[in-house]
């Protein structure tokens, strides 16, 4: 697997995913720690550039967020899963599905 650079939008306090499909809450993304989806969920969503992450934040008027640079391993899975079920959602422009994410900031 090739490790690439992407950007993750997180809550500024807990470093959790801003958008969560599941009612179980988002993953916590520690600094320099590899994060993977919980079993039955995923892949993880990140953005291909800082600009697409900013556009996402502005489109949804999000507050209390941070955008962090990260390494990711691109997923071969092309649809999101929630509790083992496929979720048919339209992902924002620039979204990448990842098997793992390591936040560098």
Q: What is the pLDDT of residues 1-33, one digit of tens each?
A: 677 999 999 988 888 886 655 555 678 899 999
| pLDDT tens, position by position, 64-100 | 889 999 999 999 988 887 766 677 778 889 999 999 9
Q: Computed from CA positions of residues 89, 16, 77, 24, in that sequence, does the dihedral angle turn out positive or negative?
A: negative
Which is more confident, 19 or 39?
39
- Strand bridging mode 65-74 / 3-11: antiparallel
Q: Report pTM.
A: 0.85
Q: What is the pLDDT of residue 58?
A: 87
CA distance 62 to 42: 22
């Amino acid at each position: 697997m090739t490790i690439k650079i992407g950007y993750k939008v997180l809550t500024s306090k807990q470093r959790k995913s801003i958008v969560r499909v599941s009612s179980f809450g988002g993953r916590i993304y520690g600094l320099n720690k590899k994060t993977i989806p919980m079993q039955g969920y995923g892949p993880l969503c990140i953005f291909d550039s800082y600009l697409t992450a900013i556009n996402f934040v502005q489109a949804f008027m999000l507050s209390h967020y941070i955008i962090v640079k990260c390494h990711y391993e691109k997923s071969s899975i092309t649809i999101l899963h929630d509790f083992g079920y496929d979720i048919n959602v339209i992902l924002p422009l620039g979204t990448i599905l990842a098997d793992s994410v390591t936040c560098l900031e």
